[in-house]
Amino acid sequence: MKNLCGKTRKVSQPYEIWQGETRDVGTITYLVLKKYQTPEAEANNPYARWFVAAKSAATFGGYDMGDNYIAEIKQIARRIWVDDGTTPMPSEIKQLFAA
């Protein structure tokens, strides 16, 4: 199976958006900009990672970009949006970029 999320996207066009709460920094938002493996390969790899842009109180309004382990993201966040290619991004999700 081909990796459909293998090309790096801009922050304004993520593949997925994940959001969660932590005690240290409060709300953290992850914009998935690239996936290195197929979902099947990720499921068998405890060190699988995504290239993300992360935003929280600790980033002072900006995004920190880099690789994050998928398992760490899924421990604290839940997926709130997926680009399925047919449904436009809802306005409440777009507001995450403006905030």
Three-state secondary structure readout of 9-70? CCCCCCCEEEEEEECCCEEEEEEEEEECCCHHHHHCCCCCEEEEEEECHHHCCCCEEEEEEH
Q: Which two tokens stand for residue 11?
A: 């922050």
pLDDT digits (tens, 9 = 90+) for 49-96: 999 999 999 999 899 999 999 999 999 999 999 998 888 888 888 877
**Is there a contact between 29 and 90 (Cβ–Cβ < 8 Å)?**
no
Token readout for 80 is 């709130």
Which band of pLDDT confidence, cut at 50, 70 and 90, is reported for residue 97? low
